Amino acid sequence: MARVYTIGSESLLDKIKYIPRDLACAVGKTAKGLGDLFKSKRLWAGIATSVALHGLLLGLSLYQQLRVVPSDIGQNIEVAYDPSLPPKAQQLVQQESQFVPEGYTREESAPLFLEKGKISFQSQIVVDEFSLEKGQASLIGDVIRINPNARLSTEEILAQAPIDISRSIGGTGTQSAFDKIVASGGSPIELDTRATQIGYGVKKPVVESSSGLESKVAEIKEAGGVHKKSGFSLTGDLSPSDILSSPFPVYPEWARQKGLSGVDIVIHFCTDRYGNILPMMLIKNSTGYPEWDKSTKAALSGWKFKPSEIEKRCGYIKFWYILQ
Protein backbone atom coordinates (compact mmCIF):
# COMPACT_ATOMS: atom_id res chain seq x y z
CA MET A 1 0.00 0.00 0.00
CA ALA A 2 1.41 3.31 -1.04
CA ARG A 3 1.73 6.02 1.52
CA VAL A 4 1.60 9.74 0.97
CA TYR A 5 4.03 11.70 3.08
CA THR A 6 3.84 15.43 3.71
CA ILE A 7 6.27 17.69 5.45
CA GLY A 8 5.05 19.29 8.70
CA SER A 9 1.40 18.13 8.54
CA GLU A 10 -0.81 15.01 8.46
CA SER A 11 -1.74 13.42 5.20
CA LEU A 12 -5.21 13.91 3.63
CA LEU A 13 -6.01 10.21 4.00
CA ASP A 14 -5.40 10.35 7.75
CA LYS A 15 -7.87 13.24 8.09
CA ILE A 16 -10.60 11.42 6.11
CA LYS A 17 -10.13 8.39 8.32
CA TYR A 18 -11.18 10.32 11.42
CA ILE A 19 -14.34 12.00 9.91
CA PRO A 20 -16.87 9.13 10.51
CA ARG A 21 -15.76 8.74 14.08
CA ASP A 22 -16.12 12.50 14.80
CA LEU A 23 -19.57 12.65 13.14
CA ALA A 24 -20.84 9.74 15.19
CA CYS A 25 -19.57 11.39 18.36
CA ALA A 26 -21.32 14.70 17.49
CA VAL A 27 -24.65 12.98 16.73
CA GLY A 28 -24.46 11.05 19.95
CA LYS A 29 -23.83 14.12 22.05
CA THR A 30 -26.70 16.00 20.33
CA ALA A 31 -29.13 13.17 21.01
CA LYS A 32 -28.03 13.05 24.63
CA GLY A 33 -28.59 16.83 24.98
CA LEU A 34 -32.09 16.63 23.48
CA GLY A 35 -32.92 13.75 25.77
CA ASP A 36 -31.88 15.74 28.81
CA LEU A 37 -33.92 18.72 27.54
CA PHE A 38 -37.15 16.77 27.10
CA LYS A 39 -36.77 15.24 30.54
CA SER A 40 -37.74 18.64 32.02
CA LYS A 41 -41.36 18.73 33.28
CA ARG A 42 -41.60 22.52 32.79
CA LEU A 43 -41.02 22.14 29.04
CA TRP A 44 -43.89 19.69 28.69
CA ALA A 45 -46.16 21.93 30.79
CA GLY A 46 -45.41 24.93 28.53
CA ILE A 47 -46.03 22.91 25.37
CA ALA A 48 -49.36 21.64 26.73
CA THR A 49 -50.46 25.15 27.70
CA SER A 50 -49.58 26.54 24.25
CA VAL A 51 -51.46 23.75 22.47
CA ALA A 52 -54.54 24.26 24.65
CA LEU A 53 -54.56 28.05 24.12
CA HIS A 54 -54.16 27.81 20.34
CA GLY A 55 -56.85 25.14 20.18
CA LEU A 56 -59.23 27.38 22.14
CA LEU A 57 -58.62 30.34 19.80
CA LEU A 58 -59.15 28.14 16.74
CA GLY A 59 -62.40 26.76 18.11
CA LEU A 60 -63.70 30.24 18.98
CA SER A 61 -62.98 31.57 15.48
CA LEU A 62 -64.73 28.59 13.88
CA TYR A 63 -67.73 29.12 16.12
CA GLN A 64 -68.02 32.78 15.15
CA GLN A 65 -67.86 31.93 11.45
CA LEU A 66 -70.25 28.99 11.42
CA ARG A 67 -72.94 30.05 13.87
CA VAL A 68 -76.36 31.26 12.61
CA VAL A 69 -77.23 34.73 13.93
CA PRO A 70 -80.98 35.24 14.44
CA SER A 71 -82.59 38.49 13.30
CA ASP A 72 -82.49 41.14 16.09
CA ILE A 73 -84.57 43.87 14.47
CA GLY A 74 -87.82 42.10 13.92
CA GLN A 75 -89.79 39.30 12.48
CA ASN A 76 -90.57 39.03 8.79
CA ILE A 77 -94.31 39.04 8.14
CA GLU A 78 -96.46 38.94 5.08
CA VAL A 79 -98.14 42.23 4.23
CA ALA A 80 -101.47 42.35 2.49
CA TYR A 81 -102.02 45.53 0.52
CA ASP A 82 -104.73 46.84 -1.72
CA PRO A 83 -103.87 46.19 -5.40
CA SER A 84 -105.86 49.27 -6.39
CA LEU A 85 -103.33 51.56 -4.73
CA PRO A 86 -100.78 53.33 -6.93
CA PRO A 87 -97.41 51.56 -7.33
CA LYS A 88 -95.65 54.13 -5.14
CA ALA A 89 -98.16 53.62 -2.30
CA GLN A 90 -97.78 49.85 -2.54
CA GLN A 91 -94.01 50.21 -2.28
CA LEU A 92 -94.33 52.42 0.83
CA VAL A 93 -96.69 49.93 2.49
CA GLN A 94 -94.22 47.12 1.91
CA GLN A 95 -91.29 49.15 3.27
CA GLU A 96 -93.11 50.37 6.38
CA SER A 97 -94.75 47.06 7.31
CA GLN A 98 -92.12 44.45 6.51
CA PHE A 99 -90.68 44.54 10.05
CA VAL A 100 -92.36 44.20 13.43
CA PRO A 101 -90.39 45.80 16.32
CA GLU A 102 -89.06 43.52 19.02
CA GLY A 103 -91.61 42.99 21.79
CA TYR A 104 -94.65 43.37 19.53
CA THR A 105 -96.78 40.74 17.87
CA ARG A 106 -98.62 40.92 14.60
CA GLU A 107 -101.92 41.57 16.38
CA GLU A 108 -100.46 44.48 18.39
CA SER A 109 -99.12 46.26 15.31
CA ALA A 110 -101.40 49.09 14.27
CA PRO A 111 -102.72 48.84 10.69
CA LEU A 112 -101.89 51.45 8.13
CA PHE A 113 -104.73 53.73 7.06
CA LEU A 114 -103.70 55.38 3.84
CA GLU A 115 -107.09 56.98 3.34
CA LYS A 116 -106.46 59.41 6.20
CA GLY A 117 -104.91 62.69 5.20
CA LYS A 118 -105.93 62.47 1.57
CA ILE A 119 -107.17 65.77 0.20
CA SER A 120 -109.02 66.18 -3.04
CA PHE A 121 -107.42 69.19 -4.66
CA GLN A 122 -109.39 68.78 -7.86
CA SER A 123 -112.58 70.02 -6.20
CA GLN A 124 -110.81 73.16 -4.97
CA ILE A 125 -109.55 74.24 -8.40
CA VAL A 126 -111.49 77.14 -9.80
CA VAL A 127 -111.16 77.63 -13.55
CA ASP A 128 -112.15 81.04 -14.85
CA GLU A 129 -113.58 81.26 -18.32
CA PHE A 130 -111.25 82.95 -20.76
CA SER A 131 -112.52 86.34 -21.82
CA LEU A 132 -111.09 88.02 -24.88
CA GLU A 133 -112.51 91.36 -23.78
CA LYS A 134 -110.51 91.26 -20.53
CA GLY A 135 -107.33 90.27 -22.32
CA GLN A 136 -107.59 93.14 -24.77
CA ALA A 137 -107.33 95.70 -21.99
CA SER A 138 -103.62 94.94 -21.52
CA LEU A 139 -102.76 94.87 -25.22
CA ILE A 140 -101.15 97.80 -27.00
CA GLY A 141 -101.65 98.31 -30.72
CA ASP A 142 -104.00 96.82 -33.28
CA VAL A 143 -105.91 93.65 -32.39
CA ILE A 144 -107.25 91.24 -35.01
CA ARG A 145 -110.04 88.95 -33.92
CA ILE A 146 -110.18 85.57 -35.56
CA ASN A 147 -113.58 83.92 -35.20
CA PRO A 148 -114.91 86.14 -32.37
CA ASN A 149 -118.09 84.06 -32.37
CA ALA A 150 -117.15 80.45 -31.70
CA ARG A 151 -120.51 79.23 -33.02
CA LEU A 152 -119.70 80.18 -36.62
CA SER A 153 -118.76 77.38 -38.93
CA THR A 154 -115.76 77.37 -41.23
CA GLU A 155 -117.95 78.11 -44.29
CA GLU A 156 -119.48 81.14 -42.56
CA ILE A 157 -116.06 82.47 -41.59
CA LEU A 158 -114.76 82.16 -45.17
CA ALA A 159 -117.86 83.95 -46.47
CA GLN A 160 -117.13 87.06 -44.38
CA ALA A 161 -115.42 90.17 -45.80
CA PRO A 162 -111.60 90.22 -45.66
CA ILE A 163 -109.96 91.97 -42.73
CA ASP A 164 -107.87 95.09 -43.39
CA ILE A 165 -104.55 94.43 -41.67
CA SER A 166 -102.72 97.58 -42.84
CA ARG A 167 -100.99 99.26 -39.86
CA SER A 168 -100.22 102.95 -39.44
CA ILE A 169 -99.91 105.67 -36.84
CA GLY A 170 -103.43 106.88 -37.52
CA GLY A 171 -105.02 103.54 -36.70
CA THR A 172 -106.42 100.53 -38.53
CA GLY A 173 -107.33 101.12 -42.17
CA THR A 174 -105.58 104.50 -42.50
CA GLN A 175 -102.33 105.39 -44.20
CA SER A 176 -99.43 107.14 -42.57
CA ALA A 177 -97.85 110.27 -44.01
CA PHE A 178 -94.90 108.26 -45.30
CA ASP A 179 -97.25 105.78 -47.05
CA LYS A 180 -99.08 108.65 -48.73
CA ILE A 181 -95.80 110.15 -50.03
CA VAL A 182 -94.72 106.79 -51.43
CA ALA A 183 -98.13 106.23 -53.07
CA SER A 184 -98.18 109.66 -54.75
CA GLY A 185 -94.63 109.43 -56.09
CA GLY A 186 -93.36 111.85 -53.44
CA SER A 187 -90.83 114.61 -53.64
CA PRO A 188 -87.17 114.50 -52.75
CA ILE A 189 -86.49 114.83 -49.04
CA GLU A 190 -84.38 117.84 -48.17
CA LEU A 191 -82.14 117.70 -45.14
CA ASP A 192 -81.04 120.68 -43.09
CA THR A 193 -77.53 121.49 -44.29
CA ARG A 194 -76.65 122.78 -40.87
CA ALA A 195 -77.09 119.32 -39.39
CA THR A 196 -74.33 117.95 -41.65
CA GLN A 197 -71.77 120.40 -40.36
CA ILE A 198 -69.39 118.88 -37.84
CA GLY A 199 -69.39 120.65 -34.52
CA TYR A 200 -72.39 122.80 -35.31
CA GLY A 201 -73.96 124.23 -32.17
CA VAL A 202 -71.04 123.19 -29.96
CA LYS A 203 -69.43 126.01 -28.05
CA LYS A 204 -65.65 126.13 -28.29
CA PRO A 205 -63.69 126.60 -25.07
CA VAL A 206 -62.36 130.07 -24.60
CA VAL A 207 -58.59 130.17 -24.08
CA GLU A 208 -57.56 132.70 -21.48
CA SER A 209 -54.72 135.05 -22.19
CA SER A 210 -51.34 134.84 -20.46
CA SER A 211 -52.18 137.89 -18.37
CA GLY A 212 -55.25 136.11 -16.95
CA LEU A 213 -53.18 133.07 -15.95
CA GLU A 214 -50.61 135.27 -14.23
CA SER A 215 -53.33 136.97 -12.21
CA LYS A 216 -54.70 133.59 -11.05
CA VAL A 217 -51.22 132.41 -10.01
CA ALA A 218 -50.81 135.62 -8.03
CA GLU A 219 -54.12 135.00 -6.28
CA ILE A 220 -52.99 131.48 -5.32
CA LYS A 221 -49.73 132.84 -3.93
CA GLU A 222 -51.57 135.41 -1.87
CA ALA A 223 -53.89 132.69 -0.53
CA GLY A 224 -50.92 130.58 0.59
CA GLY A 225 -51.26 127.92 -2.14
CA VAL A 226 -47.64 128.50 -3.25
CA HIS A 227 -44.91 128.95 -0.62
CA LYS A 228 -42.84 132.10 -0.99
CA LYS A 229 -40.04 130.98 1.32
CA SER A 230 -38.77 127.91 3.13
CA GLY A 231 -40.80 126.67 6.08
CA PHE A 232 -42.43 123.68 7.75
CA SER A 233 -45.83 122.33 8.85
CA LEU A 234 -46.56 119.98 11.75
CA THR A 235 -49.43 117.51 12.21
CA GLY A 236 -50.20 114.66 14.59
CA ASP A 237 -49.93 114.52 18.38
CA LEU A 238 -47.70 117.61 18.39
CA SER A 239 -48.51 121.19 17.41
CA PRO A 240 -46.34 124.28 16.76
CA SER A 241 -47.29 125.60 20.20
CA ASP A 242 -45.44 122.64 21.79
CA ILE A 243 -42.10 123.61 20.18
CA LEU A 244 -39.44 124.99 22.55
CA SER A 245 -36.44 124.89 20.21
CA SER A 246 -36.55 124.44 16.43
CA PRO A 247 -33.32 125.06 14.48
CA PHE A 248 -34.37 125.09 10.82
CA PRO A 249 -32.35 122.83 8.49
CA VAL A 250 -29.67 124.64 6.50
CA TYR A 251 -30.20 125.01 2.77
CA PRO A 252 -27.41 122.89 1.22
CA GLU A 253 -24.83 124.94 -0.64
CA TRP A 254 -24.60 122.48 -3.50
CA ALA A 255 -28.40 122.71 -3.91
CA ARG A 256 -28.12 126.51 -4.16
CA GLN A 257 -25.42 126.19 -6.80
CA LYS A 258 -27.60 123.83 -8.84
CA GLY A 259 -30.61 126.14 -8.42
CA LEU A 260 -32.79 123.48 -6.78
CA SER A 261 -35.99 125.00 -5.38
CA GLY A 262 -39.47 123.84 -4.40
CA VAL A 263 -38.08 120.69 -2.79
CA ASP A 264 -39.96 119.20 0.19
CA ILE A 265 -39.57 116.28 2.58
CA VAL A 266 -42.01 114.62 5.00
CA ILE A 267 -40.66 112.86 8.11
CA HIS A 268 -42.50 110.78 10.69
CA PHE A 269 -40.95 111.20 14.15
CA CYS A 270 -41.75 110.65 17.84
CA THR A 271 -40.77 112.28 21.13
CA ASP A 272 -40.41 110.96 24.67
CA ARG A 273 -42.18 112.33 27.73
CA TYR A 274 -39.43 114.95 28.16
CA GLY A 275 -39.90 116.37 24.65
CA ASN A 276 -36.72 114.96 23.11
CA ILE A 277 -36.74 113.59 19.55
CA LEU A 278 -36.35 109.82 19.46
CA PRO A 279 -33.61 108.58 17.10
CA MET A 280 -36.03 106.41 15.09
CA MET A 281 -37.30 108.64 12.24
CA LEU A 282 -39.01 107.50 9.03
CA ILE A 283 -38.97 109.47 5.77
CA LYS A 284 -42.40 109.36 4.10
CA ASN A 285 -41.58 111.69 1.19
CA SER A 286 -37.93 112.11 0.20
CA THR A 287 -36.26 115.11 -1.41
CA GLY A 288 -34.69 112.75 -3.89
CA TYR A 289 -31.20 113.42 -2.55
CA PRO A 290 -29.90 111.15 0.28
CA GLU A 291 -27.49 113.80 1.59
CA TRP A 292 -30.29 116.37 1.80
CA ASP A 293 -32.55 113.88 3.64
CA LYS A 294 -29.74 113.09 6.09
CA SER A 295 -29.01 116.74 6.90
CA THR A 296 -32.73 117.43 7.43
CA LYS A 297 -33.05 114.52 9.88
CA ALA A 298 -29.94 115.69 11.72
CA ALA A 299 -31.44 119.17 12.14
CA LEU A 300 -34.78 117.72 13.32
CA SER A 301 -33.05 115.60 15.97
CA GLY A 302 -31.97 118.84 17.70
CA TRP A 303 -35.56 120.09 18.17
CA LYS A 304 -37.06 120.31 21.65
CA PHE A 305 -40.75 120.09 22.61
CA LYS A 306 -42.64 120.71 25.84
CA PRO A 307 -42.64 117.81 28.32
CA SER A 308 -45.85 115.81 28.67
CA GLU A 309 -47.32 113.08 30.84
CA ILE A 310 -47.77 111.01 27.69
CA GLU A 311 -44.93 108.54 27.35
CA LYS A 312 -44.67 108.84 23.55
CA ARG A 313 -46.04 111.38 21.08
CA CYS A 314 -45.71 111.12 17.30
CA GLY A 315 -46.32 113.42 14.37
CA TYR A 316 -45.52 114.31 10.77
CA ILE A 317 -43.38 117.29 9.86
CA LYS A 318 -43.00 118.67 6.36
CA PHE A 319 -40.08 120.90 5.36
CA TRP A 320 -40.06 122.80 2.07
CA TYR A 321 -37.09 124.59 0.62
CA ILE A 322 -37.56 127.68 -1.54
CA LEU A 323 -34.48 129.25 -3.11
CA GLN A 324 -34.43 133.02 -2.69
Residue 244: domain span: 228-321
- Mean predicted confidence (pLDDT) in 81-102: 66
Domain membership flag for residue 97: no
Q: Is the dihedral of CA 137, 139, 142, 144 positive or negative?
A: negative
pLDDT at 1 over 50: no
- Does residue 182 belong to any structural domain of this protein? no
DSSP 200: T
Would you say residue 200 has pLDDT above 50?
no
Beta-carbon neighbour count of residue 263 at 10 Å? 19
Domain count, the chain: 2
Residue 167: predicted pLDDT: 53
Does residue 290 form part of some domain?
yes
Here the CATH number for the domain that contains residue 248 is: 3.30.2420.10
More confident residue, 89 or 297: 297
Residue 269, judged by CB atoms within 10 A of its CB (0-12, 13-18, 19+), counts as buried
In a domain, 174, yes or no: no
Mean pLDDT of 70-92: 64
Question: Does the model's pTM come out above 0.85?
Answer: no
Percent of the chain with pLDDT over 70: 51
- Any domain includes 56: yes
**237 lies in some domain:** yes
Length of the chain: 324
Residue 270 located in a structural domain: yes
Average pLDDT on 62-84 reads 66
Domain membership of residue 294 (yes or no) is yes
Scanning the chain, the segments in alpha helix (DSSP H) are 12-38, 41-66, 87-97, 132-136, 154-159, 177-183, 210-223, 253-258, 290-300
